[in-house]
Amino acid sequence: MASAAQSAQAQASTAAAQATIGNPQAQAAEHAAALDAARENADLDVPGDENGAPCGTDPQYFDEQPIGLQPDVITAWQTAVSQAATAGVTLCLNDGKRSRAQQQATYDQYVTQFGKAMADAYVLSPEKSAHVLGLAIDVQPLAGHNWLEGTAGALGFCRTYDNEAWHFEYDAAFVSGGCPSRTAHPGG
């Protein structure tokens, strides 16, 4: 039997969750807190798959295995792939988990190819990236990421940046609370 303190704590948690529904700023703050909590538990040096097969509907993209993603993200991804297929849409995991070294290499590659300003607008440092935490996925092709965005968080995935239509982050709170406001780009 629950104690009065446990009951009060449960009611406070429910009230806090209800207060974020429909409040994108509160949802964004809650998601930031979830990322901070994940940072404490994630293995930041586990690499993700870098050798995915070509995406079946658009071979310019890859379809990686969800290696290294958090277990609940893998489950949600598999559900999304299944539901999308039922709707006649292919989802390809073009990029998922990255180790700190992989994330740094991606950032360095952008600096070399496009310059520091462009890199800062498209790639976060390893210390800030949800890919390193195993909570972010890049979805292709266009029809796939459009379909996933259309689920509005119901599967736990939300688009988080205006300039990256393919980038989604997972948070179980999105299922009941919807998606937080997007930022302009990864750097803010």
Element (H, E) at 159: strand 157-159
- Phi and psi torsions of 152, nearest 5°: 50, 40
- Residue 93 carries which side chain, given as an amino acid letter? L
Report d(CA 188, CA 59) in Å as an integer.
Answer: 31
Own/partner contacts of 39-46, CB < 8 Å, gap of 24 or more, are 39/133, 42/70, 42/132, 42/133, 42/134, 44/99, 44/100, 44/126, 44/132, 44/133, 45/99, 45/100, 45/101, 46/97, 46/99, 46/134
Q: Please give the Cα distance from 18 to 177 (Å, whole number).
A: 8
* All structural domains of the chain: 41-177 (3.30.1380.10)
CA dist 108 and 125 (Å) reads 10
Cis ω before 141 (30° cut-off from 0): yes
DSSP state of 180: P
123, 107 Cβ separation under 8 angstroms: yes
Per-residue pLDDT of the chain (188 residues; tens, 9 = 90+): 444 433 333 343 344 444 555 676 776 677 766 676 666 777 788 888 888 999 999 999 999 999 999 999 999 999 999 999 999 999 999 999 999 999 999 999 999 999 999 998 889 989 899 999 999 999 999 999 999 999 999 999 999 999 999 999 999 999 999 999 999 988 77
Question: Count of residues for the chain?
Answer: 188
Tell me how far CA of residue 150 lies from CA of 60, 65, 84, 100, 159, in angstroms: 23, 23, 11, 31, 10
1 token code pair: 């039997």
User: Residue 34 has what pLDDT?
Assistant: 67
- How high is the pLDDT of residue 12? 35
What's the confidence (pLDDT) of residue 90? Answer: 97
pLDDT recorded at residue 173: 93
